[in-house]
Amino acid sequence: MSVLTIERKVLEKNDIIAAANRKLLQSHNLYSINLVSSPGSGKTSLVERTIAACQNKIRIGVIEGDIQTDLDARRVDALGVAVVQIVTHGACHLEAALIGDSLKQLDLPHLELLIIENVGNLVCPSGYDLGENVKVVVVSTTEGDDKPLKYPAMFRNASALIINKIDLLPYLNSSVDDMEKNALSINPALRVFRTSCTSGEGIEEWCEWLQSQISKK
Amino acid sequence: MHELSIAQNIIEIVQDHLPEDQKYSVKTVRVKIGKLTNILPDSLVFSFDALTRETNLNGASLEIEHLPLTIECGDCGLQSSGNEFIFACPECGSTSIKIVSGNELMVTEIELND
């Protein structure tokens, strides 16, 4: 009975490509965020709002990930921002190889911020490094204050949390304070933002943070 | 979690390590899976069995070592483990903790039938 010792990470292929992506982005001084959430939290609206508020101060590029359609990329394209759409045809998360291919289609030397909007899914993307600087998790006020407790791996792996759709609070039984408390119990280092893409509330603070992250790197 | 593609990755790693020049038969593939990976063991075994049927790995069994979430307190130094997702020290309550174990997703050993 021979036993071969292996000790290899199952996702090592992804990790190797993610490291290459990271190196490439760093070589161009390009700050990148991996935007993750459940479907329907408002990621694409947030991307639109971020572009509208920041693009005269930061040169932005976007990679959109969806299972089907290029609808999200068209929304970004309409704002005059460089965007690549990845259509996974069924894969429930983006992987480093897809990002690596997309980076070839962007003018990296001219960008300062890369927003990667992941496939709507709070489970699988937490395990796949894309080469980004930080993961930013978006939860909307309609999803339940206990959401962070139900998806601890994702909240633990994120650096920032955006609680979106705060304009809906008058119609809901939810407490943003409780949601924030739950999120911080999983990850006390989370930087938390409260936004509405309908009213624009909180977007300026979010953009200021992005600018400070870009100038810090 | 998408256990089928994880199983496929495991199989590819095993194939990488099998000696090319000899006949072999794999008895067991051992993996370590941490609590934070959100992988369902039954689903992974099912996927592994389905993918290895009618291949050179037919009959190999997937053995999973489950690793709980182990944290170390940055304040009192206590290391604690459990199957709950608790990110605070059970002794002093500090949230200044480091994850020591729980994110693993590794192929550790292959046992061959001789």
List, for residues A56-83, the tens digit of each pLDDT value.
999 999 999 999 999 999 999 999 999 9
Q: What is the pLDDT of residue A215?
A: 93
Min Cα–Cα distance to chain A from B112, Å: 5
Average pLDDT over residues B50-64: 93
Nearest CA to A154 out of B1, B45, B89 is that of B1
Which residues sit opposite B112 in a β-bridge? B26
pLDDT recorded at residue B20: 76
Distance from CA of B54 to the nearest CA of A (A): 22
Split at pLDDT 50, 70, 90, the class of B1 is low
How many Å apart are CA B89 and CA B113, to the nearest integer? Answer: 45
Task: With beta carbons under 8 A apart, name residues in chain A contacting B113.
Answer: 1
Residue of A nearest to B39 (CA): A124
pLDDT score for B23: 76
Predicted-complex ipTM score:
0.90
**Which residues, including other chains, have CB under 8 Å from residue B66's CB and lie 6 or more apart?**
B33, B35, B41
In sequence order, which residues have a C-beta less than 8 Å from that of residue A52 and are 6 or more positions away? A79
Q: How many CB atoms are located within 10 Å of the residue A69 CB?
A: 11
- Cα distance between residue A101 and residue A112, in whole Å: 19
Segment B14-30, tens digit of pLDDT:
999 987 777 788 999 99
Instruction: Tell whether the model's pLDDT for residue B65 goes beyond 90.
Output: yes
Mean pLDDT of all residues belonging to chain A: 96
pLDDT digits (tens, 9 = 90+) for A78-129: 999 999 999 999 889 999 999 999 999 999 999 999 999 999 999 999 999 9
Nearest to A36 by CA among A135, A176, A152, A151: A135
Q: What is the dihedral of CA A172, A177, A179, A181, to 10 degrees?
A: -160
What pLDDT, on a 0 to 100 scale, did the predictor assign at position A97? 97
Structure tokens at B103: 């994110």
Task: Provide mean pLDDT across the span B70-92.
Answer: 93
Query: Of all residues in chain B, what percent carry a pLDDT higher than 70?
Result: 98
The CA-atom distances, in angstroms, between A4 and each of A11, A41, B104 are: 19, 46, 19
- In whole angstroms, what is the distance from residue B70 CA to residue A42 CA? 34
Three-state DSSP state, B109: strand
Average pLDDT rounded to a whole number, residues B65-83: 94
In this complex, which of A2, A127, A152 lies closest to B85 when CB atoms are compared?
A152
Q: What does the DSSP assignment read for B25-85?
A: -EEEEEEEEEGGG---HHHHHHHHHHHHTTSTTTT-EEEEEEE-EEEEETTT--EEEESS-
Query: Which amino acid type is present at position A64?
Result: E
Give the pLDDT score at B28.
Answer: 97
pLDDT at B67 > cutoff 70: yes
Phi, psi at residue B47, to the nearest 5°? Answer: -65, -40
What pLDDT does B19 receive?
75
Question: From the list A2, A10, A93, which residue is nearest B10 (CB)?
Answer: A10
Tokens 């005059």 belong to residue: A80
Residue B84 confidence (pLDDT): 87
Mean pLDDT over A32-46 rounds to 97
Instruction: Show residues of chain B in contact with A152, CB under 8 Å.
Output: 36, 85, 87
Q: Do B1 and A123 touch (CB under 8 A)?
A: yes
B40 Rama sector, left if φ>0, alpha if ψ -120 to 50, beta otherwise: beta
Q: Measuring CA to CA, how many Å separate B101 from each of A37, A90, A200, B39, B73?
A: 25, 31, 41, 15, 13
**CA-based nearest residue in chain A for residue B93:** A185
